[in-house]
Amino acid sequence: MRIRRTVIAAGLAVAAVAAITTSAAAAGPTAPTGVKLAWADATQQQIRVTWTDAGEANKVQFVGEAFGAKDIAKIAADAPNELLVPSDSIYGGNRATFTVASVDSAGTAGPVAKSVEFDTSAPDDVPITYADPRADGSLFVSWHDAVPQYDYNPKDPFDGPGPVRYSIVNLNGGAETPVPGNLRFAVVKARPRPYYVSVRAENLWGPSNTRAFTFDQTAITGGAIPSSAAYGHLLTVSGTTGNVQQHIALQARDSASKPWVTLTSTYSGFDGVFRLQAPSPGARQYRLLAPAWKRSDAAALEYATGVTTSLTRHSIATAKFSANVVTLGQNVTATLAIAPATNVRTTLQRWNGKAWVGVKDLILAQGKSSYTFKTTARGTSAYRFFIPSTTYGGRAITWTTSASLPLVVR
């Protein structure tokens, strides 16, 4: 029995030693301590990762919120506890860390030690804060300094000013023009409008998105000025614009040496349609004007249509006979009233089958006159009033005729 107990005890002792050895082997190396991050130098092109361990080899990972964990280096046991990582080789989004684990001679990795959390955010969109569209089609733009999109870890090791590169992006064709030095302004060369530009900022983590600014070109379809209108009647102009809610003005001047005067203006509707009306006081030159405008994301230069001369005809208020059907020998009175109320010489005319011939000249007084005559032949005749060109208020009033006036004599 003693021998048996001795054997059992010896067996237990051997098992205990084996368990301790297995447990120690399974534990592996301990975690490093003091994982620190810093810029390698003032250029901010490399990140220096350092740590402290017990002399083992190490495995370094980059853990980014966007893409998860990524092995980036294995460090030999006899190498310094340091790793230089190019800053443009990593992207983590809002939250990122480096982790370091020690690896023993059997290849067993111990628990990881983490660095502090930091951001790897590209700049936020850069709005154009000032834009000056120039008559030659170029565009001067300026902007404020770019800021990171996110900063969920204020005062992390990589916060603070860093190199930011700016460029002007031509969104029409995708061309990108770098902005030299630390300038926060640029002049975009002229090109066919409308064109779309954006400022793109890029820091060591990547580029910003783009926010378009439009150098627009006002366009008017239709908008024909009538060649003439009756005095005092409304001259009507209508058309469409390429932009909704576009301000449109109808302007006039008496001659090329006179300044343009705005008669009326409106905004095109949400369908782009506009309609303008103004009285016709005499022959004048007309045009449509779309004034220059500017918003936070777009601008356009002043735009004017070509010059059109519109004539003004006399407006006929009354042109009639006292009766259109009369008996032979009966008196008939022809009455005329026009505007403007000038003292012009007019003519009552009759159609002789080949041409209009004069019957009687009348001198209008304040735009009115009448003529009474006795019918001398039976039949149907056509008459009209002819009103010659004149001036009124310094503006030309062009000639016109009344409608044909039938007269039946029985």
Residue 409 confidence class, pLDDT cut points 50, 70, 90: very high
Output the pLDDT for position 18. 40
Residue 1 confidence class, pLDDT cut points 50, 70, 90: very low
Query: 12-16, 174-178, 270-274: lowest mean pLDDT where?
Result: 12-16
Residue 175 confidence class, pLDDT cut points 50, 70, 90: confident
Output the pLDDT for position 248. 96
Output the pLDDT for position 17. 39
Instruction: Give the pLDDT confidence of 28-40 residue by residue, as tens digits.
Output: 899 999 999 999 9
**Alpha-carbon distance values, 218 to 51, 246, 271, 304 (Å):** 64, 8, 15, 9
Amino acid, single-letter form, for residue 153: N
- Higher-confidence residue of 123 and 337: namely 337
Q: Where are the beta strands (DSSP E) in 24-164?
A: 33-39, 46-52, 57-64, 68-75, 82-86, 93-103, 109-114, 118-120, 128-133, 139-143
Average pLDDT over residues 74-92: 90
Instruction: Give the pLDDT confidence of 284-328 residue by residue, as tens digits.
Output: 999 999 999 998 999 999 999 999 999 999 999 999 999 999 999
**Separation of alpha carbons 65 and 63, rounded Å:** 7
Instruction: Give the pLDDT confidence of 183-223 residue by residue, as tens digits.
Output: 999 999 999 999 999 999 988 788 888 899 999 999 899 99
Average pLDDT, the chain: 89
- Taking 60 as the threshold, does the pLDDT of residue 25 lie above it? no
Instruction: Give the pLDDT confidence of 103-126 residue by residue, as tens digits.
Output: 999 999 999 999 999 988 888 899
Q: Which residue in this structure is represented by tokens 């006081």?
A: 281
Per DSSP, the three-state class of 24 is: helix
Output the pLDDT for position 19. 41
Residue 70 backbone phi and psi in degrees, to 5? -140, 125
> What is the gyration radius of the CA atoms in the chain, in angstroms?
46
Average pLDDT over residues 138-145: 94
Residue 27 confidence class, pLDDT cut points 50, 70, 90: low
Residue 348: which of 399, 312, 402, 397 has the closest Cα?
Answer: 402
Instruction: Give the pLDDT confidence of 259-277 residue by residue, as tens digits.
Output: 999 999 999 999 999 999 9
Output the pLDDT for position 174. 74
Output the pLDDT for position 203. 83
Output the pLDDT for position 329. 94
